[in-house]
Structures are given as C-alpha cells and as structure tokens.
Structure 1
Amino acid sequence: MQVVTGEEMRLIDRCAIDELGMNEEILMENAGRAAAQEIERLYAPWGDRKAAVLIGKGNNGGDGFVIARTLLETGYDLDVWLLTDVDDFKGATRYHKDLYEQFGFTWSYWSVDNKTEIRESYDIIIDAMLGTGVSGELREPYNSVSLSLETTKADVVSIDVPSGVPSGEEAVPESAVKANTTITLQAPKCSAYLYPAKHYYGKLIVVDIGLPTKAMTSVLEERKQLWQEKDVRLTLPQRSPSSYKGSHGKGLLIGGSAAMPGAPTMAVSACIYSGAGLLTAAVPESILTSVSVTNPEVMLRPLPERSGQIASEIISTDFAFESYDAVAAGPGLGRHQGTKAVVKKLLSDVDAPLLLDADALYYLPELEQLIKERRAPLILTPHPGEMARMAGVSISEVNKHRFTISRNFAEQHGCYLVLKGPFTIVTTPNGTQFVNTTGNEALARGGTGDILTGMVLGQLLQKDDLSSAISNAVYLHGLTADLAVKDDFHSYSMASSDLIRFLPLAFRSIVSSL
C-alpha cells in the first residue's frame, strides 16, 4: 500500500481525471460512499445515535456532502453544518452540494452561537472541513470549531486527514482537529506515520475509492509504501526439507566490550533465532564466556583488547571475510579508536552485505570517502540521535523530516538505511521507502536495537532480496514486541531480552500461513 503526500494525491487525482478520463464527480461519489460505509460499519448498530457533518469548502467538503446524503438515505439521524458561504463551492463539490439539496436534504450555517450545540448535541461528529491542501494555523471559523471539538464527548471522525493536520512533514498547528478515527482515502498520508501528527489521527482506516493503479504508478516519483504482514508472507524465504546449515548462511557479528557484554549476546541470540545457519561472534576475549553461556550454538573469535575494549591492532587481524555471507558490527563496541579501526577495516575489506549499528555508526562522518568507494551493500541502522550525527542536523530535524532525511542520506551514500523509531523507515539506495507497521513503546529501552541488528543479520543470511530481508526483520522485530505485551508483559515491566523468546512465535505466526 502506497504512502503519499497531499500534493502527490492531487497529482494522482488529476492524472485519473485529465489523462485517464475518469469523471471527477464520480470519483468524489466513490470517496464519500466508501467513507460513509466505513462509518456505518464502525457504529453498527447505529441505534439512536445522532451525527453531525461539518463541511468546509474544497473537495473534502464535497466528500462530506456525499457522506451526509448516503447516511441520510439510509435513515440515520444527521445534521449538516456549513462553515463556508454556499457560493464558495465549486466544481465537483458544487455538484454534490446541489445533488444533496435535490434529494430534499437541508443544511445550516455554523456560527459561534452554535458551538455549544456542536459540542453537546451529537454522538458522532464527522469532520469534512479541510483536506490536504491547508497549511498553518486554522483560521476562523475552523479554529473555533476545532476548539469546541476538544471538549466534546462525541466521537470525532475525520475524513482523509484531521482538519489542519498537514499531509507531509510540515509542522502540526496547535489548532488542528484531534480525531478519534480518521478515514483516509485511497492511500495513507505521510503524516500518519510521523509524530506529533499521529496523535491527531486517532485510529487510521484506509478505504479504497477506485483510483486506478496506473494513475498511482505514473505519478509517484518517490516510492513510499507500508510493509505489512502480507508483504512478509510473500517474501519470507521458505526453507527446504533438504537444506543443511550452509544453506542458511554463514555470518559474522563483531561487537562487545567489558562494559557491554550483553549487547553482542542479545544480538547473537536474535540472529540465531532469525534463521542463521552458522554464526561466528568476534568479541573481546574477556567476554567470550558471557556470550557463549547464553548462546552455545555460536562459534567464537577472540579479539585483541585493551582496557576491556577492542584494540586498534585489530586492523591487522585476518578475518577471512570472503567466507561469510554477511557481516554485522556495532552492538556494545563503545566509542574509541578500536571501534574506528574496526569500521575502517570492514568498509574496506568486506565484499558481502555489511551492517553497521550503534557505536559502529559513530565514526561514519569521518569515513565518508570509504563509504563512497564501497561497492558491496551497506546497511546502516541508526536511531534518531545517530541519524542526526550522520546527517549533520539536529535530532529535532530528523524527527520532523524522517522521510526526507533518510531518503537523501541513502541516495547520497548508496546505502540501505533503517531509521529506527515509531514506524521505522527502511530506505533503499534508489530512494524507495518501506514504512513498518508493527511495534509499540515496549521497544523504547536499551538493547532492543541490538536485537534488531541480530535479526537483520539473520535475514540477510537467507540470501534473499536485501530490501525485503531488512524490512522483514524490522517487521518481525516489532511483532515480537506486540506479542510480548499482548498477553505476558506490560510495556513498563519487561526487559529487552524478554523479546527474544517471542521470536519463534513471531516467525510461526507468519510461516504457518504460508
């Protein structure tokens, strides 16, 4: 399912109308009816509920007229309030306003005198005031209506986007409508996967309004799509009964220090549980026992160390990288010259897919030339703070412009970039983006990133399409957290290592349906 900005959606609409010959009034009819049917489904049985539709000018208002007409024809108790002069309606919106009236239905103008009625008289309020074309703080009368909705006991259902919420990465005005549910048309908008905008959407429901695939594919230059369960099912490699350990990849994971032995330990466990056939963990000699006790299956490679950290002399170590199908480094390394030496060696010598995470990302701004010279796949998995350092911007900027910053970096550096956080974004070197749809606040704790590193490495070893392997690992990582808090844990009270025992359940939930 594609994710779009408001401008991209308008271009898709114009393509369908101007180039493919679809009728704008019919498209609006399809949109309004699809939204009305979803509202009926949400509130069935309707009973004695009373609803209001708030209509502004523009196409969103036209959708509102279709919704109101459809629900009234079904017999629901519903009032329509206009927030703009009737002469402001143009084109398809004007057509559906006239059709609404020809059916014998009436409307009223909203005024400040009605705000108490709007707030207190309805069980459901349908927000069809403003769509994706607005920016900045709401003007009157929309601002006053939005303020009234903040204290209503009614369920607020917004159409396409909550009024005032931008569709892209722009700032969310304080005056924007906060919906309980948003029914978005055809394709979800980027802001639904960004904070704080997500708080305004409430529950997000996407309805198909019949826009042709050709209109979508011919317009979209920046490919953004949700990565969902069906995508994992389609792309997760099936394992042959005749396979052997070498069939499922030979991996190398480098990390750890005396201060952080748990990071590589969790990464190794996650990698083993994510399909790895053979795994070698290269860690400082002082933590070999710590890693092996938890993971007896892993082969161990002691590394030279100084003061509990990998020593710079590692640069002369022969790893025989050519014998590995993928390599990962970062968990628990720490930030010191030994880490820099590790990263330089890996960027220069590894010809297989290379994953860098955590402290292995710290020195990348100093190693730009090695990144540019690298020809084999490079996968980077930063959280927003690490992304900010890599991109030379603030953490605030990263969180505001997650799509843009991650795409620009991946394209400029020719790498796969996994920008972690709520709705983790996987970006390929050509700028295609996949938005993850799993996970919860239980992942907001130290160690979960190390687990993701192990999972991505495990999936890379399956020798599948890289972007699918990475996106599948990210999806399953979030799914383990969803399963953990579903029955066994509360997001407050669990440890990162608890996630590992839910990995078999996460994989089984996908594989059993293949």
Structure 2
Amino acid sequence: MFFMKIVTAKEMQDIDRIAIDDYGIPGIVLMENAAKGVVASLFKKFPDIKDKKVGIFAGKGNNGGDGLAVARLLTDKGIATEVYLLSKKDTLKGDAKTNLDSAEGMGIKILEIVSLDELEAVKDSILKNDIFIDAIFGTGLTSGVKGYYTDVINFINSSKKFVLSIDIPSGLSSDTGEVIGEHIMADLTVALCLPKIGEILYPAAEYVGELDVVDIGIPELIINNRDIKINLIEEKDAAGILPKRKPDTHKGTYGHLVVIAGSRGKGGAAALSSISALRAGTGLVTLALPECLNISFEAGIPEVMTLPLPDTKEGTIDKSALNILIKFLEGKSALLIGPGITTNPSTSSLIKNLIKKVSCPMLIDADALNIIADKIELLKDKLFPVIVTPHPGEMARMLNTTSKEIQANRIESSRKLSVEYGIYVILKGARTIVATPEGEVYVNPTGNPGMATAGTGDVLSGIIAGFMTQGLSARDSSILGVYLHGLAGDIGAEKLSQTALIASDLLKTFPEAIKRVERFNEKMP
C-alpha cells in the first residue's frame, strides 16, 4: 500500500531534479502539466468559467512561470485573462521566460507592476476580474514576505475575489504549519504533484482553502524510491485496511478486549470507550471497573461484560486488584487502560505495576498517560505493541515540555516519542498524527472543531483498541481508527452542526463512516 506523501520544499525540489536530470523529463513539460492541472481544477470549480475574467499575479520564478502557462491555456480556451507581473520582464529566466515569451506571442495582456504606486494606478482595472490566481512565490519561502509584496498580498486578500493559489498560498512556508508572515488567503490551492506540510498542518492549513493535488507527470517510482517519512491518510488507505467479515465466524473470531476504565463521577468515559470498541467490530468487551459502579453498568450497557474490582474509598480501582487483573488478562486479545480512572495514588500504583506485566497488545489513554508520564521507560522493550493516545497537554508531560512547544512541532514531537520508546503515538488534535517506531508519520485529514468536546478521545481509544483486538496491527489500527473517528465526527457535524456535536453522537454516526469506506471498496474495479 502506497500512501500519498507529504513533502518539504527540499524534498519536492529533489523529486523535480531527479525527474529532469535522471529521467529526462524537461522542466518545461512539468510546468505545462502543472498548468493543465490548474486549469482542470479551475474548470471543475467553475463550470461557467467562460463567462468570467481571470487575473493572474505572477512572480519571477517557476511559480510565476506556472501562472504564465495557465494564462496561455486559459486564453486558448477563450477565457479573458490578464497577467500582473510583479517583476521586470527581463528578470525572468529559463522555463518562466519561455512561458512569458509564449504568452506575449499570443497577445495576452501582461502588466509589469513593481511598486505600490503602479499597483494603485491599476487597482480599479484589476478588480474587474472575477477570479484571481496567485502564482507569486510558490514553495521556496523560508522567511516572511517583506516590502511591496505585502501590499500586493493585502490587496488580493481584501478584494473578496475567489483566489486560487498555485502549489501553495504565497507567503506560507512549505515546511511547517506555522504562519511566518503575511500570506494569501486562498479559496482553492492546487498542489503540484504532492501536498506540502504547510498545506496540511494548522494553523497554516486554515489559509489553504480547498486542497486539490494534481498529477504533473512525475513517475511514481521516483516518489516511492525516496525516503519520505510523512504520509497523508486517504479514504483509499482506510478502505484497504478495513477488515472484511467472513461468513464462517463467531464472536470469538473478533477478539476479546479488556477495558480498565471508570471511577465514581467518571463512568461516562468507561461507557464511551467500551461501546465504541464494540462499534468497531470487537467480538467481546469486558469492562474492568470499580465495584461501586458495577450495578449501574450491568443494567445500563447490556452488550458489555463487567469485571468488578476492589475500590478505594474515593471510588477508584484499588491497587489490590493487580492479581485479579493479571489472571483475567490471560488469553485476552488486547487491553485498553485509562479512561476516567483518575490519578489516585492507589490506582496509580496498580497501573504502573500492571503495565510491567501485561503480555498482550495495549492502548494507554487519558489518566493512565498522566500516571506513567514520569515513568515512560515502563513502555520500552515490550514484547507486544503499545499505543499511546495523548492530547498535547498529556504529550507535554510525557516529554517534559510545554503544550505550546508540542503544537509548534507536532510531527517531530510525535516521532521522537515513538522512536525513542518503541511505541505507537497518536497525538490528538486538528490533523491527528500517527507516529510509528520506524519513524513513519501519518497525518489524518478527517475531523472538525465540533469534536473538541468531552469524551471524543474515549471514543477514539475504544475504536483503535477494538481494531487491534480483531488482529489488525498497531499501525493499521491507529490509521484506520483516527480516519473513521474523524469521519464519524464529520458526518455528525453535517447532521447536527459542529456546535451541537457531543461524543455519544459519534457512536451513532460511526456505522455510517464504516459504510462510506466500505462503499469505496465496492466502487473499486
């Protein structure tokens, strides 16, 4: 299975160079293919585009060359197009100069606008366009935009016109989700060949608009042979992982998950994680919980079995439950620890001692992560896979840093924890990250702000543990789990709105998320 790669500017430059130098594909051909992709995307967005006027803002580099090629193709299709060149014509070189000459040869109107005064003089004329195309900087920026270019960017953003950016909105960095200065706020970005990190990660991703990745004719072999470690999870990937049920099976076929969760006042976390594991297809789920909660759970959730455990006076699981749990875990398929257990000292002692002795795949979430934050070495060299599912605050405690630092370096923080301790890390948040001990990173595009509500993390942990219980690898369980969880949230937001969405809604929409992915498989030849 090949995932779509997410690249830095240098990685993309290396791919371009190999295509040109080693495979003999001329740069002008790649530029032409890029322009064709942009035009196709524009036509898809605007079926009535022949009635519209297009203004293209072009820089002097290859991004500007892409814009000039687009101008030529649009003009050839009878669409009124003008180019606003933000540099003197004699500064263009190579393929960009070739496309400038071709555009001029076709009689396309090309205005040199190299100062604020020149921009002011033609503003009214420029604003007669219906669509702006941003072909100013492309992927090469490493620092914020300065000088006259900030005036151009502010003018474009304030125009309220539909803006399409070629490859990446000008002013954003390709290599980070951080915003480095003034930038185009695009409605549609057409990424050439592969998406860039700055188009996928927030806060920069907010300014990309709709993202359309187009083929520019670079052989897949070049991409697959590069050691690119960051991947985008797509529907096809989830469909390829989703297990299919065989006719001659029974509940034992789909595994037995043990969930250690809940305490007095936090029974909801236990319920959400247990039910979501069943929704993910787990054959059997046993909820190990404080004895004081057992009666209400036996009556309230008939599909989930319970294992009542000795409890503390505070209503948490007592450390004396250790031997009971060790014996009960014999022969079980997987273990989920953490939702709603609190960090009570007795419970904390139990969890630390239990983790040492667990001999099955394990997912650690919520309070259990806080319990082991100062003892992460407990997770090293386990014979069975371990998945941890921190939010940025929990991750910060595990790495002894701040949430702000984690959010600014989501990919590298996740990879560091995963590789150093040999565990699978799922860093929750906008664009949830899955990191593997091999250094691979998978970025999830599904989900929405409506999921920023209590309990959605418990649903996620149950889903992933449920897939692992059925025999999927820790990697595949994580990838499939985060994608379907986010998709269930998106379906819920469509039906109910983001504002009204609550965690238990995901239990209702999760089946539709699975059906959508199953339908993808049905459509494949």
Normalising TM by the smaller chain, what interval? over 0.9
Q: Does 1:35 align with 2:38?
A: yes
1:59 corresponds to which letter in structure 2? N
Between 1:283-292 and 1:94-103, the stretch displaced more is 94-103
The residue that corresponds to 2:190 in the other structure is 183
Q: Which residue of 1 aligns with 2:505?
A: 498
Which of the residues 122, 127, 151 maps onto 1:120? 127
- Equivalents in 2 of 1:280, 1:48: separation in Å? 63
Q: Shift of the alpha carbon at 1:401?
A: 1.4
Q: Does 1:61 align with 2:64?
A: yes
Equivalent residue, structure 2, for 1:44: 47
- C-alpha contact (below 8 Å) 1:83/1:141 kept by paired residues: no
RMSD, aligned CA: 1.7
What is the correspondence of 1:459-478 to structure 2 with a 5 Å cutoff?
459-478=467-486
Q: 1:281 aligns with which of 278, 281, 287?
A: 287
CA distance in structure 2 between the aligned counterparts of 1:204 and 1:339, rounded to whole angstroms: 46
- Pairwise CA distance, 1:9: 0.7
Structure 2, unaligned runs of 5 or more: none
Is 1:71 aligned to 2:53, yes or no? Answer: no
- Using the size of structure 2 for normalisation, the TM-score is 0.94
Q: Which amino acid aligns with 2:23?
A: L
Identity, in percent, stands at: 36
**For residues 303-359 of structure 1, what are the alpha-carbon distances to aligned partners after superposition, in whole Å with 9 as ceiling and x for unaligned?**
221111122233343433231111111100112223422432342111211100011
Contact 1:60-1:130 within 8 A present in 2 as well:
yes
The Cα of 1:263 is off from its aligned counterpart by 0.4
What SS is found at the alignment partner of 1:53? strand
Alignment-mate amino acid for residue 454 of structure 1: G
Change (3 A) 1:243 1:85: same
Q: Does 1:101 align with 2:104?
A: yes
Task: Give the aligned partner of residue 403 of structure 1.
Answer: 411
Which ranges of structure 1 fall in alignment gaps of 5 or more residues? none
The CA distance in 1 between the partners of 2:517 and 2:279, in whole Å, is: 14
Name which of 256, 267, 278 aligns with 2:273. Answer: 267
For 1:228-377, what aligned pairs fall within 5 Å after superposition?
A: 228-306=234-312, 307-320=314-327, 321-377=329-385
CA offset at residue 119 of structure 1? 6.0
Residue aligning to 1:18: 21
1:78-111 deviation line (CA, Å, top 9, x unaligned) = 1101111223222222222222223333411114
Work out which of the residue numbers 81, 85, 91 in structure 1 matches 2:84: 81
TM-aligned CA deviation for residue 4 of structure 1? 1.1
How far does residue 50 in structure 1 lie from its aligned partner after superposition? 1.3
Deviation of 1:373 (Å): 3.4
Contact 1:322 1:350 in 2 (8 A): no
Counterpart of 2:43 in structure 1: which amino acid?
Answer: E
Between 1:45-54 and 1:235-244, the stretch displaced more is 45-54
| Secondary structure, aligned partner of 1:137 | coil
Between 369-378 and 181-190, the greater mean CA deviation after superposition:
369-378
- The answer as to whether partners of 2:174 and 2:196 remain within 8 angstroms in 1 is yes
* Mapped contact 2:257–2:335 kept (Cα < 8 A): yes
Deviations 1:198-223 (A, max 9, x none): 1211111111111111221222x242
Q: Decide whether aligned partners of structure 1 residues 149 and 497 sit closer, same or farther in structure 2, where only a CA change above 3 A counts.
A: same
Whether 2:231 is the aligned partner of 1:225: answer yes
Amino acid aligned to 2:259: L
Contact residue 265 and residue 290 of structure 1 kept, 8 A: no
Give the SS at the match of 2:286. Answer: strand
Stretch of structure 1 that moved more, 186-195 or 67-76: 186-195
Deviation (angstroms), 1:188: 1.0
What is the TM-score when the length of structure 1 is the normalising length? 0.96
